[in-house]
Structure 1
Amino acid sequence: MVDRIVPATTDADRDDAARLLGVRDEALAVAEPFLQWVIEDDFAGARPAWEQAGAVLTDDVAPWEQAKLRMLNATHSMLAYLGGLRGYETIAEAVRDAELAELAGELMTHDVVPTLSPPEGLDLTAYGTSVLERFANPALKHRTAQVAMDGSVKLPVRLLGTVRDRLEAGAEPRFASLAVAGWMVYVATGKDANGRELALDDPQAPRLRDAVAQADPGPAGLVDAMLAVETVFDGELAADKVFRSLLVEGVTSLQSR
């Protein structure tokens, strides 16, 4: 499991690197200072001493991966959709919005952390704080549009598992549901608060557009149409009344803005 934010490389990045290095690298990758490798220590024979370079060797990588997906990646998606709708072009701009930063923190604290069994050596509270600090790095210029792409594929692994676990525990996944509602409005609206286009870059874009076109008027109509996309929402989750109610509440709030 690798945890590192790597925005899409731009021509400006290549130009900056060329000035610094004296050579042009067309395969340049731009990344944040933070870097974490977690490797399952299960090899047939000898291996390099990767821990000497800072890698974490563990008997089970799954808890590390789940924490990263549900905390960092889910929060990334929330900020991409809610921030994109507000007209923010980068994640750093979105997380500097005090309201969005608070929502992102609540997502991790109230919805995600109760679903996790943290591996030894990972402090979830400290990790959540570091996630928001990393997102706020203005030098990354990680575009909300890049993080928002492929939502139909990302949501099931980033957010819907948390929603399902909280519902099964008898809790209301209010903040995770708001993030999903943000995706629905992002897909349906197609424009931000400034009237600029929000491109739908998604492998299921035709299916999603059909769902929006066939939706009954109003927030509930949009929610029901999107929940019917079975390649995103399984039947049990789509039929959950608490989840639907939270989605309608979230879509209503976002559309009213």
Structure 2
Amino acid sequence: LMDPGLADWIAQNGAFPSTMVDRIVPALKPENIPELAAKSGVTDRAPVLHEPFRQWVIEDWFVAGERPDYAAVGADLVRDVRPFEDMKLRCLNGTHSALAYLGYLAGHQTIFDTISDPAFAAYCRRLWQSEITPGLEAPEGVDLTEYTGHLFQRYANPAIRHLTYQIAMDGSQKLPQRILATISENLKAGRDSSGLILAVAAWMRYVGATDENGLPIKVQDPLAARLKTLSDKAGSVTEKVGAMLALREVFPAGLAKNPDFQKAVIASYADLARRGARACVLEYGS
């Protein structure tokens, strides 16, 4: 129903500030409950495991400027949330996904395990320095080099057992905003995207549902069955990549039809199939 009077009232008396939160929260395992009970003396059937870091960014848009004192509990009140969201999606979530697919294929169970491998540590740092931060608008008061350095420390926290398998879930829904948007912008600007393209190829290998040792992967994704069918039906690497790039739910037409992107993904996929994830990552980071 359309009620102009209600719309006017909302415009005068309502505010809908955008927000962004950042905290790494691994999935709870059954064994965590008795472990935490033994340490705390309290049995909590639904505990939340998380890292020490937390960030809550709120758009400073409230009716007549009246709002709770969010800053008193550590929230950042800002004019525009978008730069913070882009920074988090691309720097944190983007590298998380890249490390998840390549790390899983290389046999690493967690982000901590992955980042403890010198080849992957160098890969992650180069992604930030060469491919991700050059196209980012740094939020006011944020140094992107310091931010990514802090991110690396968060990844290297041995107490946070964030599974590569967990992060790899629902990749068809995550890749567009985490990785593909950065690649599209880099291609237009003539910047390097080889490390992120390697991650895209790793996703394609991963959703084929077979790891580098020939063992099955139980892919958790809304398109899992369709992705496996596409991978199984395709014969050559070129056909496999082409079938994946034709998925408009994942790859926008402008990117999927870019010949430079197509060639790079095909080459990366073939390299992963021939040499394995760790060897490809090692070469990129060296």
Task: Give your verdict on TM over 0.5.
Answer: yes
Confirm or deny that 1:119 pairs with 2:139.
yes
2:270 match? 252
Instruction: For 1:60, give the aligned amino acid.
Output: D
Confirm or deny that 1:166 pairs with 2:189.
no
Instruction: For 1:246, give the aligned amino acid.
Output: A
1:23 CA drift (Å): 2.2
Residues 209 and 219, structure 2, Cα contact 8 Å, conserved in 1: no
Residues 145 and 199, structure 1, Cα contact 8 Å, conserved in 2: no
1:201 match? 220
Choose the corresponding residue for 1:237, options 255, 258, 261: 255
Specify the SS of the correspondent of 1:11: coil
Correspondence list, 1:100-119, <5 A? 100-119=120-139
In the alignment, structure 2 segments of 5+ residues that lack a partner are 1-19, 277-286
Confirm or deny that 1:47 pairs with 2:67.
yes
Give the Cα separation in 1 of the matches to 2:152 and 2:208: 28
Give the Cα separation in 2 of the matches to 1:172 and 1:215: 29
Give the Cα separation in 2 of the matches to 1:96 and 1:192: 20
> What TM-score, normalized by structure 1, do the two folds share?
0.95
Correspondence list, 1:60-99, <5 A? 60-99=80-119
Give the Cα separation in 2 of the matches to 1:134 and 1:127: 11
Which structure would you say has the larger Rg?
2
Give the Cα separation in 1 of the matches to 2:212 and 2:81: 38
Specify the SS of the correspondent of 2:225: helix
2:195 match? 175
Residues 156 and 233, structure 1, Cα contact 8 Å, conserved in 2: yes
Instruction: For 1:254, give the aligned amino acid.
Output: L
Residues 27 and 162, structure 2, Cα contact 8 Å, conserved in 1: yes
Residues 8 and 142, structure 1, Cα contact 8 Å, conserved in 2: yes
1:110-137 Cα deviation digits (max 9, x unpaired): 1111211111111111111111211111
1:178 CA drift (Å): 1.0
Residues 85 and 192, structure 1, Cα contact 8 Å, conserved in 2: yes
Residues 73 and 158, structure 1, Cα contact 8 Å, conserved in 2: yes
1:16-72 Cα deviation digits (max 9, x unpaired): 221123221111100001111111111125211111222111000000000000000
Specify the SS of the correspondent of 1:117: coil
Confirm or deny that 1:27 pairs with 2:46.
yes
Confirm or deny that 1:220 pairs with 2:245.
no
Give the Cα separation in 1 of the matches to 2:217 and 2:150: 29
Give the Cα separation in 1 of the matches to 2:134 and 2:204: 25
1:138 match? 158
Give the Cα separation in 2 of the matches to 1:112 and 1:227: 22
1:152 CA drift (Å): 0.1
Give the Cα separation in 2 of the matches to 1:253 and 1:28: 42
**Residues 176-185 or 145-154, more deviating:** 176-185
Confirm or deny that 1:57 pairs with 2:77.
yes
Give the Cα separation in 1 of the matches to 2:233 and 2:63: 54
Specify the SS of the correspondent of 1:70: helix
State, as a whole percentage, how many aligned pairs show the same letter.
Answer: 43
Specify the SS of the correspondent of 2:67: coil
